[in-house]
Chains A and B, each alone.
Chain A
Amino acid sequence: MANPREDPLVIAGEAFGSRLITGTGGAPSLAVLRDALTASGTELTTVAMRRVDPSAHGSVLDVLRDCGVRVLPNTAGCFTAGEAVLTAKLAREALGTSWVKLEVIADERTLLPDPIELVDAAEQLVADGFTVLPYTNDDPVLARRLEQVGCAAVMPLGSPIGSGLGIRNPHNIELIVEAAGVPVILDAGIGTASDAALAMELGCDAVLLATAVTRAQEPALMARAMRHAVAAGRLARLAGRIPRRRYAQASSPFEGRTGT
């Protein structure tokens, strides 16, 4: 296994040993979340910003601090650039980080990004000094536009949030990877370990997932699976896979067979 410190994920000049970024949504309890985060080996984890609940017990922030994980606030649930910008500013004030996972969704049924609002919000936040990591469609043109306005990474979806449908358009993900000058993080749609490995084999720099772990029957076990899948996919990408062939190619020599 390669030492992750020799092959760090670098976003906006900051290095991470793990290429697995996790979300915290969907975990049945903070204790389960803690075990899953620990098993995942993640160093960067998303949280959402919501109105304070006076009856809430414990905080996800305590869990992240205990696990030594850096917090990445998101703008989940925002439908307009204005809402997303305000949420990002509140997150910066509350959590003391200018990093934001930018989400601007178009509707509740698909949770797909609204590209017009997304680019608008990204431009505003970059101008305000944020390090912007946008959740985007698997659209190479939109990814390029987001990079052009100054985003620190692009995070195309594999399939809709929470769907577990995997990577529906691997070709587009490859096109995004080929063209990108910033890290590409496969975000959303991962269902199981092979999906995460595929994302890395396609050349993504990291994978962001939540539901696949937090709603698995055994979250900590799936977190461990994802950790290995991301590492394995990365190594396979670096190693360079063999070309696909139409017919067989014997791996044992034909010469010297008995009876010849």
Chain B
Amino acid sequence: MKIIVNGEPRELPTGATVADAVALVTAAPSGVAAALNDEVVGRSRWTATALADADRLEVLTAVQGG
């Protein structure tokens, strides 16, 4: 299935979770948050949250700014 991760289309196997998709872009153990279709998914729920085709996942962290 195709998932949009941070604006980029990614191919993931059926049954893949938020944790799988996050792992494509970062291995950071903290300081990262994810939103699935504009809803925040807490880190504790990443492995239990299954993705569906065409889902949009945003994975953010803190950068210099402000």
Interface residues of A (CB under 8 A from B): 23-27, 30, 33, 46-54, 56, 59-61, 71-74, 76, 86-87, 89-95, 101, 103, 210
Which residues of chain B are near A91, meaning CB under 8 Å?
Answer: 33, 60, 62
Q: Is A24 a contact of B66 with CB atoms below 8 Å?
A: yes
Q: Is A48 a contact of B35 with CB atoms below 8 Å?
A: no
Interface residues of B (CB under 8 A from A): 6-7, 25-26, 28, 31-35, 38, 40, 42-43, 58-66
C-alpha spacing A101/B62, complex, angstroms:
13
C-alpha spacing A72/B64, complex, angstroms:
11
Chain B residue nearest to A27 (CB atoms) is B64
Q: Knowing A49-B60, A90-B40 are in contact, say whether A74-B31 is a contact too (CB < 8 A).
A: no
C-alpha spacing A201/B9, complex, angstroms:
53
Q: Is B33 a contact of A93 with CB atoms below 8 Å?
A: yes
Q: Is B42 a contact of A47 with CB atoms below 8 Å?
A: no
Q: Is B25 a contact of A76 with CB atoms below 8 Å?
A: no
Interface centre among A54, A56, A72, A93 (most CB of B within 10 A): A93
Q: Is B26 a contact of A74 with CB atoms below 8 Å?
A: no
A/B interface sample: 23 pairs, CB < 8 A: A23-B66, A33-B64, A48-B62, A49-B33, A49-B63, A50-B60, A51-B7, A51-B58, A52-B25, A52-B32, A52-B60, A56-B63, A60-B62, A61-B61, A73-B62, A76-B66, A87-B60, A89-B40, A90-B34, A90-B40, A93-B40, A94-B31, A94-B60
Which residues of chain B are near A89, meaning CB under 8 Å?
Answer: 33, 35, 40
C-alpha spacing A91/B34, complex, angstroms:
10
Taking the closest CB of chain B, its distance from the CB of A210, in whole angstroms, is: 6
Q: Is A49 a contact of B61 with CB atoms below 8 Å?
A: yes
Q: Is B40 a contact of A74 with CB atoms below 8 Å?
A: no
C-alpha spacing A24/B62, complex, angstroms:
11
Which residues of chain A are near B38, meaning CB under 8 Å?
Answer: 86
Q: Is A90 a contact of B33 with CB atoms below 8 Å?
A: yes
Interchain CB contact (< 8 A) of A50 among B28, B43, B61: B61
Which residues of chain B are near A86, meaning CB under 8 Å?
Answer: 35, 38, 40
C-alpha spacing A72/B28, complex, angstroms:
20
Taking the closest CB of chain B, its distance from the CB of A122, in whole angstroms, is: 17
Chain A residue nearest to B42 (CB atoms) is A93
C-alpha spacing A87/B65, complex, angstroms:
14
Which residues of chain A are near B66, meaning CB under 8 Å?
Answer: 23-25, 46-48, 72, 74, 76, 101, 103, 210
Q: Is B62 a contact of A71 with CB atoms below 8 Å?
A: yes
